[in-house]
Amino acid sequence: MPENPFRLPDTIRHPKKRALLKALAKSGAVRRACAAACVHHSTYYEWRLDDAAFADAADVAREHYIEWLEAVADKRATSGPRPSDTLLIFRLKALRPHVYRERYEHKVAPEEIDREIERLMRELKACPNCSCPTCREKRSENNGLNGRPSPQAELAVNASNRAVGREKL
């Protein structure tokens, strides 16, 4: 594994804080670093609240550890007796998510939208006097406009049409 040198800031003079920060830069884990420095983990969080310089140094130490892990992952992904394609994929996704992220496209043909709108309109007109919760809800959405869609429903249909590049119905 590559070296993991970490230079402590000169502003941190307390020996236990310095030991904890060094251990944090090597392990990345608060409890493990606290154990190495013989400090209870609650003390670490108190120091973070009470000492801004310590909190900043702790953030830098953790960032240092993360960068070191990334270097190790890069080395394992690209060299050695068994380079890891899987690890390489994860690194690329982490470093360039806009290029390597998973993409999902949902395409709906305009004809499918038309069929669904027609089906819903037929369903709405099918039982205008029914008192089931679904029909009551549909009637309230329709606002009693005698079979015409409500302004909200019309806006939704128009937005849908614009999304697929068609004119207003």
Domains of the chain, residue spans: 15-100, 110-163
Residue 64 · residue 103 · CB < 8 Å: no
C-alpha 148/C-alpha 161 separation (Å) is: 18
Nearest partner of 78 among 89, 88, 90, judged by Cα: 88
pLDDT score for 139: 63
Nearest to 66 by CA among 99, 18, 29, 20: 29
| pLDDT given at position 82 | 86
- What's residue 169's pLDDT? 45
Angle between helices 52-78 and 85-95 (to 10 degrees): 140
| 25 and 65 Cβ atoms separated by less than 8 Å | yes
* Sequential pLDDT tens for the chain (169 residues): 556 677 888 889 999 999 999 999 999 999 999 999 999 999 999 999 999 999 999 999 999 999 899 888 888 889 888 889 998 888 888 888 888 888 777 788 888 888 888 888 887 776 666 666 666 676 666 555 555 655 666 666 666 666 555 554 4
pLDDT at site 166: 56
Query: For 141-153, how does the pLDDT look when each residue is reduced to its tens digit (9 = 90+)?
Result: 655 555 565 566 6
Work out the burial of residue 51: count CB atoms within 10 Å of its CB; fewer than 13 is exposed, 13-18 middle, 19 or more buried: middle
Model confidence pTM above 0.85: no
How many CA atoms, within 13 angstroms, populate the side-chain half-sphere of residue 69?
A: 15
CB 65 within 8 A of CB 30: no
